[in-house]
Structure 1
Amino acid sequence: MAYIRPLIEEYPVTADSVELFRKFTGRPSCFFLDSGMDPDKLGRYSFIGSDPFLTLKSFGETTEVTFLGRPSKETGNPLDILNRHLEQYRIDDDESMLPCAGGAVGYISYDIGRFIETLPCTAVNDLNLPECRFGFYDVIITIDNLTKKTYIVSTGFPEQDESLRMKRAMERLHEIKTILD
């Protein structure tokens, strides 16, 4: 699998990152990553995304995978399943690019440790939350809190063919611009 370079377009906005995120709160699996810290130090970037093309939710050895709205189940170690899907959607890690150009956003709970080492299973899942949950996002809005610039980063995933991927990247970039306007 080759690494891809996403489309990156600067987008002029006057709203702050919280105001931008409000435009996405009704969309599926939206997220907002913002440290709230000093932009000169650890708080330089904020990230917004929604509408993942793929989601993973694991409960024990069963992982629910939803790809473009089509659900399926995979059995086995959820970390192996996650890694297998991550390998399919590799992004060039050129240091001149923005720090988050798309990819998987989610969490791994403490209970996943049972797949790494032998531990007793004493926890009760009284909240019915997945032990591992990730969304794979093909578009990320990156806010540079230091320079006050906003970028739309679009990978075109899940398409693998270069021309189809670029077509999807452009379509999704325009879709996000419509939401931001």
Structure 2
Amino acid sequence: MRRDELEHAIRAATDVIHGDRVIVIGSQSILGSFTEDQLPATITMSDAVDIAPFSDDDAGTLADSIDSVLGEWSPFHKEFGFYVQAAERETAVLPDDWEYRLVGVRNERTRNSTGLCLDPYDLCAAKLIAARPKDHAFVLALIESSLIERVRLVDRIRLIDPSEPRRDAALSWAMSV
């Protein structure tokens, strides 16, 4: 995915929900902080962007709307070659105060819409909590390309609630690379 595609996804998602803000939760939120030219190619290979409505009802009505209009195999996906995977804010386990570190994406292409992307360290902490092989590879690629500092990542993981059962494994992995 490229930055302009992320901007398109933000604009399309806000149009669908008739809102002005969404949160970009998944791996492509990294494009809020870095351009595709700065990132390793493996980081931007996804054709999906995970977006959560800034606020939704308990039934996830707005998220469902995003999925039905912009989701995988939708006409949007077929036309543009990427799709929006709707998510809920609670999808990712994130460090305390992550909301204050969101990176805004707003410009002429987003037309009065703002995509609030996860800070790269919050994103990597969440990926290490998820602990899938693709998440470890994502974080390792950012560390190896010097876009993420391992020590700072460890500090960010420590901001995750200590009662989170996967926190210690995430810390261990981050300290060992």
TM-score range, shorter chain: under 0.3
Q: TM-score, normalising length from structure 1?
A: 0.26
More strand by share: 1
Greater helix proportion: 2
User: Looking at CA atoms only, which structure, 1 or 2, has the larger radius of gyration?
Assistant: 1
Superposition TM-score, scaled by structure 2 size: 0.27
Q: Highest relative contact order (Cα 8 Å, sep 6+), 1 or 2?
A: 1
